[in-house]
Amino acid sequence: MFLKKLLEQRHTLSFRLTLWYGGIFIISSFAVFLIFYLSVASVIYGRIDDELSEDMEEFASYLASKGFEEFIREVRDEIDSEDPEKVFFRAMRSDGSEIISSDMSLWGNPGIGKKTLKHMSSGETAFETIFIPLKSYNTRIVHKKIGQDIIMQTGILLEKETRLMSVFKKVFGISMITTLFIAALAGWFMAKQALSGVEQVTQTAQKISEGAIDQRVSVKSGGNEIEQLANTFNHMLDRIQKLITEMREMTDNIAHDLKSPLTRIRGAAEVILTSNNSQNEYEHMAASIIEECDNLVEMINTMLDISELETGVRKIEFRKIKITDIVQDICELFEPLAEKKNQLLLCNASEQLMIFGHVKMIQQMVSNLLDNAVKYTPDSGVITVSLHKNGKNKVVLSISDTGPGIFEEDLPHIFERFYRADRSRSKAGSGLGLSMVKLITTVHSGDIIVQNLSDSGSKFTVMLPDLSFSS
């Protein structure tokens, strides 16, 4: 069960981090131990070598100063004073024949290796560590040529030292296992702590994929990398949720706006099919079907234009244009419409101003704003168009009317696609005009604001960079 869980975890980042952490911890602990072990070993064995060397020097000086007989006596005294199981002394001739020695049957009569012989012939003290099968521990042996034809050999059983080092190894083994366990636990805990934010992001993403789009990752205000990730994730979700809501609203609006003209077209076609009308009435009905279709096509075209502009698919070529001329032309175009409603259309656009832009788009922008002004202003109202330059290198176009104005609650939404204030439903329209205006100002690096006038009516103000600013 535990193994199964562990296997499931093996691809997770927490598991890998734990593995890395534990691995690095163990390797470095092992390296530290090894250095420590080797240092202790070199001190302990170095001390033994020093003692053995001193013995050799003593024997050599005895032989040199007091003669062969005294030397033999000294060796015998040493043999008698030491435990024959633990220390041996042996004096030999160069041909290997023994002069005096401890009971070598207890030591299996160790010979002298070639390497040792080579060392001795150059006058050096030669050390070696060997394992004698009769003994349970290693033996450290020293050889030295102390006279013309005398080789002295002393061996010492490394019992205490080997025991000490094996206790040391045991303690290390236990410490390593405990350390590994603690390192793995600490590593796992740290990895879990560090990645808990990522887990939260994953869980939230899972819930969202199951449909709970309003879920968010709870973020502390610490600002570490994971919290920043969670924050970015939450922002992204806000944006996606907003887009989804907008898209839903848009599809609802499209469905709503397509339904009424289509119902009217169907009704007219049905009447043509089922009733006996005069040629004149048929022509009238066909004309109204054509008009409805034209409106539908215009609405679809506007939607396509907006989406092309928004996605940047449409390449717009800007050039130096005379905005004053455009505004004057559009005013002239709307004059008859305003007259029809007995409205006064004032056009204050005399200052010759240039901008860097697209003629058709600017025409459409001014038309949409004027069309709304004429449409929503009641008969005998006044519409004022004004074009001037303000001090901040901006060309300002304002269109104000004496119409009903816009409800405060509608103001933040009127530039949204398909948004139509409830009281405007009686007038023809698609709710796309102002969103197109907003887009056009945006692609011209400009801005648009709307405000209600104190008496009555509303005022739309478009600000565009003037030529000197954009070029």
Interface contacts to ligand ADP, rule CB under 6 A: 372-373, 376, 401, 403-404, 406, 414, 419-421, 424, 429-435, 458
> Considering beta carbons, is residue 124 or 291 the nearer one to ligand ADP?
291
> Considering beta carbons, is residue 321 or 437 the nearer one to ligand ADP?
437
- Of all residues in the shown chain, the one whose CB is closest to ligand ADP is 429
> Considering beta carbons, is residue 136 or 260 the nearer one to ligand ADP?
260
> Considering beta carbons, is residue 18 or 430 the nearer one to ligand ADP?
430
> Considering beta carbons, is residue 338 or 406 the nearer one to ligand ADP?
406
> Considering beta carbons, is residue 328 or 451 the nearer one to ligand ADP?
451
Q: Nearest approach, Cβ of 386 to ligand ADP (angstroms)?
A: 15
83: left (phi over 0), alpha (psi -120 to 50) or beta: beta
As a whole number of Å, the CA-based R_g of the chain is 51
Q: Nearest approach, Cβ of 375 to ligand ADP (angstroms)?
A: 6
Q: Nearest approach, Cβ of 399 to ligand ADP (angstroms)?
A: 8
> Considering beta carbons, is residue 41 or 421 the nearer one to ligand ADP?
421
Q: Nearest approach, Cβ of 456 to ligand ADP (angstroms)?
A: 10
Q: Nearest approach, Cβ of 378 to ligand ADP (angstroms)?
A: 11
Q: Nearest approach, Cβ of 325 to ligand ADP (angstroms)?
A: 24
The CB density around residue 418, as the number of other CB atoms within 10 Å, is: 19
Q: Nearest approach, Cβ of 443 to ligand ADP (angstroms)?
A: 17
> Considering beta carbons, is residue 155 or 431 the nearer one to ligand ADP?
431
> Considering beta carbons, is residue 23 or 404 the nearer one to ligand ADP?
404
> Considering beta carbons, is residue 6 or 304 the nearer one to ligand ADP?
304
Q: Nearest approach, Cβ of 231 to ligand ADP (angstroms)?
A: 35
As a three-state string, the secondary structure of the chain is CHHHHHHHHCCCHHHHHHHHHHHHHHHHHHHHHHHHHHHHHHHHHHHHHHHHHHHHHHHHHHHHHHHHHHHHHHHHHHHHHCCCCCEEEEEECCCCCEEEECCHHHCCCCCCCHHHHHHHHCCCCEEEEEECCCCCCEEEEEEEECCCCCEEEEEEECHHHHHHHHHHHHHHHHHHHHHHHHHHHHHHHHHHHHHHHHHHHHHHHHHHHCCCCCCCCCCCCCCCHHHHHHHHHHHHHHHHHHHHHHHHHHHHHHHHHHHHHHHHHHHHHHHHHHCCCCHHHHHHHHHHHHHHHHHHHHHHHHHHHHHHHHHCCCCCCCEEEEHHHHHHHHHHHHHHHHHHCCCEEEEECCCCCEEEECHHHHHHHHHHHHHHHHHHCCCCCEEEEEEEEECCCEEEEEEEECCCCCCCCCHHHCCCCCCCCHHHCCCCCCCCHHHHHHHHHHHCCCEEEEEECCCCCEEEEEEEEEHHHHC
The CB density around residue 196, as the number of other CB atoms within 10 Å, is: 12
